[in-house]
């Protein structure tokens, strides 16, 4: 296969992830996304829709723009995604909307960087001589492959979550990990603010700046995440992540002191 023919097939294929990512963001309820951008035009509620639209436009450019303009579209898109992934490392991934994915880490950064590298190589190669139909077919194949991979990962993580046994040990305290630039963490703090003071006193909040600062057992979970502790401060049960799971763990704390009005009954 000639380099120009490779350019016709490989470059349009990287439009596939952009199609899936863009469509997923546009279809999702932005209020349910763990969106990492807190301020500016790309913050909630319009940020996911603007980014999703940009991803779809980049995919269209990769398929329909001539020659090096297509490669430039791919390079710009994947370079931007690489920079964002590096900046938001350790946070929940909203790359593909509401799909269950691991926290943003080296895999996300490396995959986007590989897309940018491929686009840079394509930019240096002679333009392909294939037509729009050839590029559209390659893009469709890339989209189908990406969708299959995404569904498989989502199914595996959902199965793992459903298979997690409920914690039957007594939880005496909770150590919770959050980040300042995490919208989900702020929502969780708001929910927990309504809990009993006695319960909140047993929750230790640790603020981290990046995933590397999480203990080993919590790597890959993203923030917010938490682990239950026994009376001696040793971990009990499996660590949890996400607003609902962390709140449920806090609600499971066993309060040893009863309210004053219950004594003597």
Overall pTM surpassing 0.75 (yes/no): no
CA-nearest of 143, 172, 103, 122 to 14 is 143
CA distance 44 to 38: 7
- Model confidence over 77-107: pLDDT tens digits? 999 999 988 887 767 678 887 776 666 778 8
Say which residue, 152 or 264, is predicted with more confidence: 152
Residue 133: HSE in the Cβ half-sphere, 13 Å Cα cutoff: 0
Mean pLDDT of all residues belonging to the chain: 83
pLDDT in tens, 204-235: 999 988 666 788 888 777 788 899 999 999 99
Q: What percent of the chain has pLDDT over 70?
A: 85
Q: Lowest mean pLDDT of 19-33, 109-123, 155-169, 219-233, name the range.
A: 155-169
> Minimum mean pLDDT among 176-180, 242-246, 258-262: which range?
258-262
Q: Kindly state the average pLDDT of the residues 186-202.
A: 89
Confidence of residue 168 (pLDDT cuts 50, 70, 90): confident
Residues in Cβ contact with 193 at an 8 Å cutoff, skipping those fewer than 6 apart: none
Q: What pLDDT sits at residue 258?
A: 46
Q: Which H/E stretch holds residue 176?
A: strand 173-178
| pLDDT at position 262 over 50 | no
| Confidence band for 260, pLDDT divided at 50, 70 and 90 | very low
- What pLDDT, on a 0 to 100 scale, did the predictor assign at position 154? 77
Q: Is the pLDDT of residue 65 over 80?
A: yes
Specify the fold of 173-262.
Answer: Glutaredoxin (3.40.30)
What number is the average pLDDT over the span 15-23? 94
- The whole-number average pLDDT for the span 171-177 is 93
> Does residue 57 surpass a pLDDT of 80?
yes
Q: Is the pLDDT of residue 149 over 80?
A: yes
Q: What is the pLDDT of residue 223?
A: 82
* pLDDT at site 5: 64
Beta-carbon-side half-sphere exposure of residue 50 (alpha carbons within 13 Å): 10
């Amino acid at each position: 296969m000639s380099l120009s023919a490779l350019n016709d097939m490989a470059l349009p294929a990287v439009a596939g992830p952009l199609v899936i990512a863009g469509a997923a963001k546009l279809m999702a309820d932005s209020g349910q996304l763990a969106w990492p951008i807190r301020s500016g035009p790309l913050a909630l509620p319009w940020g996911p829709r603007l980014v999703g639209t940009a991803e779809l436009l980049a995919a269209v450019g990769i398929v329909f723009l001539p020659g090096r303009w297509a490669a430039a579209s791919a390079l710009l898109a994947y370079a931007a995604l690489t920079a964002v992934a590096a900046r938001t490392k350790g946070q929940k991934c909203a790359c593909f909307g509401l799909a269950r994915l691991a926290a943003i880490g080296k895999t996300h950064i490396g995959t986007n960087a590989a897309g940018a590298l491929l686009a840079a190589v394509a930019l240096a190669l002679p333009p392909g001589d294939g037509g729009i139909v050839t590029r559209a077919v390659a893009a469709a194949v890339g989209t189908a492959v990406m969708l299959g991979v995404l569904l498989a990962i989502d199914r595996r993580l959902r199965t793992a979550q459903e298979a997690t046994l409920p914690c039957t040990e007594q939880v005496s305290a909770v150590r919770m990990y959050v980040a300042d630039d995490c919208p989900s963490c702020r929502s969780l703090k708001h929910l927990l603010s309504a809990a009993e003071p006695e319960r909140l006193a047993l929750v230790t909040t640790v603020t981290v700046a990046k995933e590397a600062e999480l203990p080993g057992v919590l790597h890959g979970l993203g923030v917010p995440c938490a682990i239950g502790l026994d009376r001696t401060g040793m971990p009990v049960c499996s660590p949890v992540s996400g607003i609902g799971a962390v709140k449920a763990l806090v609600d499971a704390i066993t309060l040893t002191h009863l309210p004053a009005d219950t004594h003597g009954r």
